[in-house]
Structure 1
Amino acid sequence: MSAGDVVRLEDTNEESQEMSQEMNGKTLSWQRLRRLDSLEVESGKVHGHRGHGSKGVDWWTIMQLAFQSLGIVYGDIGTSPLYVYASTFSEGINHNDDILGVLSLIFYTITFIPLIKYVFFVLRANDNGDGGTFALYSLLCRYAKLGLLPSQQAEDRDVSNFQLELPNNRLWLASRLKSKLENSKFAKYFLLFATMLGTSMVIGDGVLTPCISVLSAVGGIKEATNSMTEERIVWTSVAILICLFMAQRFGTDKVGYTFAPIICIWFALISGIGVFNFVKFDPTVIRAINPMYIIYYFRRNKKKAWTSLGGVVLAITGTEALFADVGHFTVRSIQISMCSVTFPSLILAYAGQASYLRKHNDDVADTFFKSTPDTLFWPMFGVAVLASIIASQAMISGTFSIIQQSLSLGCFPRVKIIHTSAKYEGQVYIPEVNYLLMLACVGITFGFRTTEKIGNAYGIAVVFVMTLTSSFLVLIMIMIWKTHIVIIIAYVLCIGTVELLYLSSVLYKFNQGGYLPLAFAAVLMIIMYTWNNVYRKKYNYEFEHRISPEKLKEIAADTNLCRIPGLAIFYSELVHGIPPIFKHYIANVPALHSVLVFVSIKSLPISKVPVEDRFLFRHVDPSDLNVFRCVVRYGYTDVRNEQEPFEEMLVERLKEFIREDKWLLSIICNNGEYVEGGRAAENVAVVDENVNGDVPSYGEEKKEEVDVVEKAWRSGVVHLMGESEVVAGKGAGIGKKILINYAYNFIRRNLRQSDKVFDIPHKRLLKVGMTYEL
């Protein structure tokens, strides 16, 4: 009988009889199956895979999601026609056929990167429906032991979403690479570093997108009036940006249905105007489908052609949103919306602008609005401003989600996360980050003032993230998908070469604004590294100094220890064992509540943990102490807020665990004879033979223990929070002292405390302080 077969039984007397009947005709063997302890009992309740890939989504729902995705996913890449040609031809057009070369570059770049790479490859690497840099990292961490914390548990693999469906071919290369990564500490640190870097770059993208999108859209008003100077355009853009960030706290419920019609109108207008310009000015630009024009373009311009790639790459900004936002939709819905609406609309828009430029070379600085017919100027201007705001909104929301993921995996300092929608779990708002983003956007807009300079900075953030995504994807292809080596080589040669070429081009413009995202990422990386490094040191210190079972028995045997009514929840980050801060607490407060539960909040490398798989319990010996350990497992996108009845859920699961644990003890036998104290048993298996003896009833003992928990729950709950100070140990080097004593403690003091993050009621909170020397 497996852990998944364990069911909750309400009547204790009937329960024992039923279990005796179920065991009739079977015997228990010690040697063949590891005993199911309490943590495994809870984790074994698997009701099937719940990822997006397993959902039987009907076509009508898929089409609805495809429509909604237009308003969420494509705002950034959809507004790129506002500034691509202006950024590419920053010094003007030297030869008329250069337009064909650039159009050909744009066509093949959009085809290779967003369409082929992301839609048909990267979207397959989703983590139970969720995407982004952390999704790729989590897949690798689940398949190989790449985590840096000693918090892994065998029971985690029983969570339904944790499991990976793996093919069985080409195992040699996969196992070789897996072994190399698991045995290399450098590889583990490098993968974590790359994940942090990708996260920092996406956040940098979230800063630059509002600046360049709003500035480009507002700049179009120069075509209608000469009184609109550059100064006024900058101030107007700043005002729009401030309003945009101030509105974030209200949330974006029903955001898909609200924004999708506007983006649909936007795509209809740019594609319609593109067709109009294509027919009216120069239909021969269709020749750009021939890649030879790219070669001719590079022959004529040489170094200038290479540096202009930094402008061409802006045509695929926001592509990462295809993957990052897949959790709100499905893979199929995004594939449909990209292939049927976004891709053809963008190609028509760029082709139309190229046709116009073939006849009006001098209008390249304001290509978008110059190529718009006069009768459509004001409607186009209004929709452009709205579309740029939507593009900004998508990246701002994405930044909030990414920081939430970083926080849950211990890679970002504690910040307050507010869930703005009860319907859409992914919609979060982070006040501190929102205001920092606003200040950064306002500063960049005032400092750079033009889209050309911002475009230089923007390109680096975009290409860096894409290159990191490709690197992670190659590892997934080899280790998890077991993809044929020929396909992997073809992917690296085609996609990897294109991205590295673009990366070399955008890095060349480092001193022309390209330093901005790298500087921004460097600041974020320092913060993330400082927090993660000390967080791991602190965890390892607690792990090495955790209280032993013998020490706990000494505490329990202390006659000076008095018991008081009530249930105490002691929070700790330590997954294995009891933290040393508990010994410090007992030494100063020699009193123990009638029921004590050590709760460890643990983040698994998956997006969501089903509620029935969330709580793991273990009864701490001696059993009459009524002390339990509880690991509460969350995914990196799971909701944790005051709307979730955490206390009530914990108590109900605890009572359920007691019932099941007592039943397990009642069926454990030794050499064919049932014995009490079954906790000592290590191995149990069921085989088809007769059982000698009767199963004793543990109904009364179970009922008494459940009653104790219920009584303690009614007497009141107290939350005990360990607030440990950390300092560098004696003899530590100057670098370690600066890292821990100054950098980490400065960040910790200026951010949210744990009780605010977990929404613990202040009236029932008791903090226990202790200093760790690391």
Structure 2
Amino acid sequence: MEMTSRIEMDEDNDNRGSMWDLDQKLDQPMDEEAGRLRNMYKEKKSSALLLLRLAFQSLGVVYGDLGTSPLYVFYNTFPGKIEDPEDVVGALSLIIYSLTLIPLLKYVFVVCKANDNGQGELISVDGDMYHWSHTHPCCHAGGTFALYSLLCRHAKIKTIPNQHRTDEELTTYSRSTFHEQSFAAKTKRWLERHVSRKNALLILVLVGTCMVIGDGILTPAISVLSAAGGIKVDHPGMSNGVVVVVAVVILVGLFSLQHYGTDKVSWLFAPIVLVWFLVIGGIGIYNIWKYDSSVLRAFSPVYIYRYFRRGGKDGWTSLGGIMLSITGTEALFADLSHFPVAAVQLAFTVVVFPCLLLAYSGQAAYLMSNRDHVVDAFYRSIPDSIYWPVFIIATAAAIVASQATITATFSIIKQALALGCFPRVKVVHTSKKFLGQIYVPDINWILMILCIAVTAGFKNQNQIGNAYGTAVVIVMLVTTLLMTLIMILVWRCHWILVLLFTGLSLVVECTYFSAVLFKVDQGGWVPLVIAAAFLLIMYVWHYGTLKRYEFEMHSKVSMAWILGLGPSLGLVRVPGIGLVYTELASGVPHIFSHFITNLPAIHSVVVFVCVKYLPVYTVPEEERFLVKRIGPKNFHMFRCVARYGYKDLHKKDDEFEKKLFDSLFLFVRLESMMEGCSDSDEYSLYGQQTERSREGLLNNNGNGNTITSYADTTISSVDSIVPVKSPMHGSMTVRSSEHVSSQTETDELEFLNSCRDAGVVHILGNTVVRARRESRFYKKIAIDYVYAFLRKICREHSVIFNVPHESLLNVGQVFYV
């Protein structure tokens, strides 16, 4: 046996050639990975304690909005007088089962499982377990975008066709395979078959997104106004106008301080919300004990039937107020980017759910004996001895809920921008310590103006509540429809389970939706108007972006034309590097031919830079850049695709240009190493590969990525492609002592460095998009007027990419789409 093993080892050693040596050099554990292996046992031991800590921190992010609902639910349910005490029991029963069916069963135990690519997982950093952003309780990820991105990875439903097979090699890009005859495969083909279905799905996602933006306007308005309304209870003679002024002052201060970020105060959010839940739960117990413990019979659903039988149409329309008891539920899924599913579930089942049930039951017990106090039921039910401390806590909780919603709106705008569904706006990263803290100045002031207009215009919680309920129920309907597709395409559940979930959810949510329709003329029109305006902006921008991309794809320059120009490209090659920005991830853009046709010179090195957003939550920094060579080596032309997830931020201080060149230099080294390991007859003079494919030359088993070098046999796409890892970490660079550079490699690296020292110029296209003369009138209106106006008022590409003005060169073009 020993001899056999020795023979096998000798044979293996004989088979170890240069490729094996190269693989051993590249396939080394990263420092982070080695750290994770060393601390794996420690992670398991500390996971329970960490879960409790994350559950505590999730209170300040996820549950602020849901927790402040007791301030206004009963008033919006009974805007007039309570005629029958049994109506209070019936309303309480509806609240109990609404909280049970929607937040608890649907979101906590079903929707939360649809986290995008394992968002919320625990990771190890320097031996301790942390969630990547758990220390930052104020950044959100829109649930509808996470679901849409998940669907885009499992089906070709993305309307802008810029996918590439290398995208699927990312560690965060997970997808499932289908059996051809399965129901999931048939559904996938049905969605992919017609463009209209893709557009319908996109519009559905945009509607949900627009309603969430509406929440960013209505949540601060109703939360702050309801909290400020407590002043009148202690001072009955105070007019409602004073309360409105106080609320407006708080809102102005809240929005004006957004640009500072929340670094220094975010640690207070979770304690404030926890104290708030404990206080309202304690007050609820006190009121049940003092006023009427018989309200606990509302846990029987029979009182729901009696409530509707007794109330008729009025009872049905009162569901619009009951609906407010579950506002903020969508945050349960939207905030999975920051906390594990288990932490969100633990916080809800142990703290949030019981405290809310106690709070609503206590208010109901108070109203059984004080039916005339429904307007300020929450504040009037507070014992006099703790009134002002509770008022302060309520105001603080309302501000926390508002802050979380505002920041969520910023994040959703950022995600829409990444998916090409929103005009370019400036995104500011407000913290160097916490990932995800962003501030969007333009959106901030729009939200403030609209929020103040809603608060000062309606002046009371009732009409704002009607508007709020409309927005929330539409978001829930959108989530249900998207979750149905997730269950079919991603989870591949049995059709009975899909039907059960979808049917039950739609019955409950359509019931609420029918109730809020009765209140459209009483304030419910506000979110519809806001959503319609944002939907128009987002869809027209996406439509114009798609048409511009299609034009660039159809007019891109062939490689045959480039090769026909020769190494000098028919021009004078001046020292320096030209970074040509384009939206194309393949091919030579039309802007390049336009540039060299009108100018007699071009830089010695040309790099086509494509900043591309993928339908994934994030792209690891070490997988950010994908570098290719275009044409023969003596052309000195490259392509660099910078890949981002919809939550990644292109920051001003992230040294983008430096990392790009580091990746370019690393590409040259890897390419030289692979050529040294290959047979000399596998490449032609221009770097073309023969019919024998060399895909999969190098496999990095440590992270699942493949480093390849290949090119098509046709002259139209002579590309040498190597996904390179960011050389940020020392372990990612090839040790020079083990790799002897060839003279060609050394010369090229020296040439690139000299060109870089000579200067770098950023070349951006300043395009004007026009509809063709034969286009239909609605297309001309959309492109020539709406899209043109949006492009005029939005930020320039140079601002988004943080390009310095002294090295910027704009190339003007007119696209007729």
TM-score (norm 1): 0.90
> Contact (CA 8 Å) 1:210, 1:391: kept in 2 or not?
yes
8 Å contact from structure 1 (residues 563, 591) kept in 2: yes
Q: Residue type matched to 2:804 in 1?
A: P
**Separation in 2 of the partners of 1:606 and 1:79?**
33
* 8 A contact 1:669–1:678 mirrored in 2: no
1:86 and 2:69 aligned: no
User: What SS does the corresponding residue of 1:378 show, helix, strand or coil?
Assistant: helix
- 1:741 aligns with 784
| d(CA) in 2 for partners of 1:698, 1:648 | 22
* Residue type of the alignment partner of 1:562: V
Asked if residue 394 in structure 1 is aligned to residue 404 in structure 2, the reply is yes
Cα displacement (A) at 1:668: 4.1
Sort the Cα spacing of 1:313 and 1:587 in 2 relative to 1 into closer, same or farther, 3 A.
same
Give, in whole Å, the separation in 1 of the partners of 2:750 and 2:804: 25
2:372 to 336, 345, 362: 362
- Counterparts of 2:557 and 2:627, CA distance in 1: 18
Residue 297 of structure 1 pairs with residue 314 of structure 2: no
RMSD: 2.6
Contact 1:460 1:503 in 2 (8 A): yes
Q: How does 1:628-647 map to 2 (within 5 A)?
A: 628-647=638-657
Would the alpha carbon gap of residues 566 and 686 (structure 1) be closer, same or farther in structure 2, given more than 3 Å must change? Answer: closer
Q: Flag the 1:426–1:18 CA change in 2: closer, same or farther, 3 A.
A: farther
Equivalent position of 1:441 in the other structure: 451
- In structure 1, which of residues 705, 708, 723 is the aligned counterpart of residue 766 of structure 2? 723
SS at 1:425 equivalent: coil
CA distance in 2, matches of 1:566, 1:431: 36
Provide the C-alpha distance between the structure 2 equivalents of 1:79 and 1:234, rounded to a whole number of angstroms.
Answer: 18
Q: CA deviation at 1:184?
A: 2.1
Q: Say which is worse superposed, 634-643 or 548-557, in terms of deviation.
A: 548-557
Alpha carbons of 1:606 and 1:361: their partners in 2 closer, same or farther (altered >3 Å)? same
| Cα distance, 1:686–1:441 mapped onto 2, change above 3 Å | closer
Offset of residue 300 of structure 1: 0.4
Check whether the contact 2:553–2:584 (CA below 8 A) recurs between aligned residues: yes
SS in 2 for 1:104: helix
C-alpha contact (below 8 Å) 2:567/2:635 kept by paired residues: no
1:21 equivalent in structure 2: 18
Pair 268,498 (structure 1): closer, same or farther in 2 beyond 3 Å? same
Residue 541 of structure 1 aligns with which residue? 551
- Report the equivalent of 2:803: 760
Provide the secondary structure at the position in 2 that maps to 1:161: coil
Partner residue of 1:121? 110
- Per the TM alignment, residue 734 of structure 1 is displaced from its structure 2 partner at its CA by 2.4
Aligned to 2:761, what secondary structure does the other structure show? strand
Query: 2:689 maps to which residue?
Result: 680
Contact 2:631–2:686 under 8 Å retained in 1: no
Q: Which residue of 2 aligns with 1:6?
A: none
What is the rounded CA distance, in whole Å, between the counterparts of 2:228 and 2:53 in structure 1? 32
Task: Specify whether residues 47 and 523 from structure 1 end up closer, same or farther in structure 2 by C-alpha distance, changes over 3 A only.
Answer: farther
| CA deviation map 1:291-323 (0-9, x unaligned) | 010000000011111100000010011111111
Equivalent residues of 2:424, 2:800 under 8 A apart = yes
How far apart are residue 62 of structure 1 and its match? 1.9
The AA in structure 2 aligned to 1:728 is A
Which 10-residue stretch deviates more, 60-69 or 366-375?
A: 60-69
Over 3 Å counting, the alpha-carbon distance change for 1:559 and 1:646 in structure 2 is closer
CA gap 1:256/1:108 in 2 versus in 1, 3 angstroms? farther
Q: 1:644 to 1:406 in 2, by over 3 A?
A: same
Partner of 2:144: 133
Find the counterpart in structure 2 of residue 153 from structure 1.
164
What is the DSSP-based 3-state SS (H/G/I as helix, E as strand, rest coil) of the residue aligned with 1:628? Answer: strand
| Match of residue 35 from structure 1 | none
Post-superposition CA distance 1:575-616 (Å, at most 9, x none): 221110111111222211121100011100001001121111
Moved more, 400-409 or 721-730: 721-730
Q: Measured at CA, do residues 74 and 731 of structure 1 come closer, stay the same or move farther in structure 2, by a change above 3 Å? A: same
Unpaired runs of at least 5, structure 1: 1-16, 27-40, 688-695
Q: Which residue pairs with 2:701 in the alignment?
A: none
Distance 2:682 2:617 in 1: 45
Aligned counterparts of 2:326 and 2:235: Cα–Cα separation in 1: 31
Alignment correspondent of 1:287 = 297
Separation of aligned partners in 1, 2:564 and 2:485: 50
Equivalent residue number for residue 231 of structure 2:
221
Q: CA deviation at 1:170?
A: 11
1:417 and 2:427 correspond: yes
Distance 1:349 1:703, change over 3 A: same
Alignment partner of 1:656 is 2:666: yes
Name the % identity: 44
Determine which of 616, 633, 642 is the counterpart of 1:606.
Answer: 616
- Contact persistence 1:470–1:496 (CA under 8 A): yes
Change (3 A) 1:771 1:118: same
How many Å separate the matches in 2 of 1:757 and 1:335?
38
Out of 311, 322, 339, the residue aligned to residue 312 of structure 1 is 322
Give distance in 2, aligned partners of 1:428 and 1:320: 21
Q: Which residue identity lines up with residue 644 of structure 2 in the other structure?
A: Y
Q: Residues 612-655 of structure 1: CA distance to partner in whole angstroms, max 9, x if unpaired?
A: 21111111113211010111110010121111011110111111
Q: Does 1:529 align with 2:539?
A: yes
Correspondences of 1:217-256 after superposition (within 5 Å): 217-253=227-263, 255-256=265-266
Distance (Å, rounded) in 2 between the aligned partners of 1:391 and 1:93: 29
Report deviation, 1:256. 4.2
* Match 1:163 to one of 160, 168, 174: 174
CA shift for structure 1 position 556: 3.7
Instruction: Say if 2:633 and 2:686, in contact at 8 Å, map to a contact too.
Output: no
Aligned length: 727
Q: For 2:608, what is the secondary structure of its paired residue?
A: strand
C-alpha separation in 1, matches of 2:376 and 2:357: 19
**Structure 2 Cα separation of the partners of residues 389 and 440 of structure 1:** 17
**Structure 2 gaps, min length 5:** 1-13, 37-42, 120-140, 698-738
Structure 2 match to 1:373 = 383
> 3-state DSSP class of the match of 1:162?
coil
Task: Please state if 1:772 is matched with 2:782.
Answer: no
Partners in 1 of 2:672 and 2:193 — Cα distance? 41
Give the Å deviation of 1:150: 2.3
Q: Which residue does the alignment assign to 1:699?
A: 742
Judge conservation of contact 2:683–2:690 (CA < 8 Å) in 1: no
**2:753 match:** 710
Counterpart for residue 70 of structure 1: 59
Q: Indicate the residue corresponding to 1:500 in structure 2.
A: 510
Higher relative contact order by CA 8 Å / sep ≥ 6: 1 or 2? 1
**Would the aligned equivalents of 2:562 and 2:569 in 1 still touch at CA under 8 Å?**
no
How many Å apart are 1:486 and its aligned residue? Answer: 2.3
Q: Is the 8 A contact 2:682 2:690 kept in 1?
A: no
Which residue of the other structure, out of 327, 345, 348, is the alignment partner of 1:335? Answer: 345
Please tell me whether residue 112 in structure 1 is matched to residue 101 in structure 2.
yes
* 1:480 lines up with 2:490 in the alignment: yes
Residues 11-52 of structure 1, C-alpha deviations (whole Å, 9 max, x = no match): xxxxxx99943469x9xxxxxxxxxxxxxx9xxxx989x9xx
**1:721 and 1:765 in contact (8 A); partners too:** yes
Distance 1:558 1:419, change over 3 A: closer
- 1: CA distance, partners of 2:696 / 2:628: 23
1:415/1:430 contact within 8 Å kept: yes
Quick one: distance in 2 between partners of 1:549 and 1:346? 65
- Residue aligned with 1:145, SS: coil
How many Å apart are 1:553 and its aligned residue? Answer: 2.0
CA distance in 2, matches of 1:573, 1:257: 40
Q: Quick check: 431-440 or 745-754, which moved more?
A: 745-754
Deviation at 1:558, TM superposition (A): 6.2
